Structure 1
Amino acid sequence: MVSRPTIYITKMTPQTELSHLLYGMEEEEIPGELKENQQLDLIAAAYEQALKSPLEVGIAVNEKQAVLHFKSLPEKEPLFVVDNNEESMMTLGKNAARLVKGIPFKLDV
């Protein structure tokens, strides 16, 4: 069975809520998949997921922030770092999908 390409997402803390992030991605019709990570640092975890993702985009989220990373960027320079709130998470999800699609980002991050 072949799995479809997805953006890889990791939760740094078990209680972290991802629904708004996933809604944003879903609106842009790009799927996300929850994955384990080996990193303790939020930016490093997002980069790890970007390296593993077939779409070359990774996201890491904790209770305070979320990081969107792209495989082609330097490890310590993520594309977006946002506060973990409903509006920012929705926009981050949209922008992750837009990165994959190659269309302009939403600027209200």
Structure 2
Amino acid sequence: MAIDKDRPSILIALLPEDGSTLPARLQPMLLGIEEEQIPYQLVSSSDSTAKSAVERAYDAAIASRLSVGVAYDQQQIVVHYKNLAPEAPLFTEPITTARETRIVGANAARLVKGVPFKLQGQVS
């Protein structure tokens, strides 16, 4: 993973086929992280072709100075924390609406901040 190790941030593991860009349907997740004022980095990895979203999220959490990693596949977004078992992510949420995707991003950032999570469907 090519990351700036000096910059504390949530690491978001991209799929190899996405190159260095997060798909448009997941952009609201970045807005959720930004609204909580936590930095993030998009991480490309060519060796993650055979890894699941859970495995990639855990790898990102281990590499993150904030201990939080996010990954995705075609159906879901996974938020992992480095102190959890590799096979047991904190959140696995289906990719549905932009609003729900934004809440997943906000909750990843709230994990860093140590404040209560937003509930899916919650209006803020």
What TM-score results when the alignment is normalised by the length of structure 2?
0.79
Q: Give the corresponding residue for 2:99.
A: 87
> Bigger CA drift: 78-87 or 44-53?
78-87
Q: Give the corresponding residue for 2:28.
A: 20
Structure 1 residues not aligned, in runs of 5+: none
| In structure 2, distance between residues paired with 1:57 and 1:97 | 8
Deviations 1:2-41 (A, max 9, x none): 8431100012241733310100001100011101233321
Aligned residue pairs, count: 109
For 1:83, the aligned partner's letter is: P
CA contact (8 A) 1:48 1:58 kept: yes
Rg: which structure is higher? 2
Aligned alpha-carbon RMSD (Å): 2.0
Q: What percentage of aligned pairs have identical amino acids?
A: 39
CA contact (8 A) 2:70 2:80 kept: yes
**Structure 1 pair 96/2, CA: closer, same or farther in 2 (3 Å)?**
closer
SS state of the match for residue 58, structure 1? Answer: strand
The structure 1 residue matched to 2:42, chosen from 34, 46, 57, is 34
**Structure 1 pair 57/106, CA: closer, same or farther in 2 (3 Å)?**
same
For 1:67, the aligned partner's letter is: V
Q: Give the corresponding residue for 1:72.
A: 83
Q: Could you list the structure 1 runs, at least 4 aligned residues long, displaced by more than 2 angstroms after superposition.
A: 1-4, 15-18, 36-39
Q: Give the corresponding residue for 2:72.
A: 61
What TM-score results when the alignment is normalised by the length of structure 1?
0.89
For 1:88, the aligned partner's letter is: E
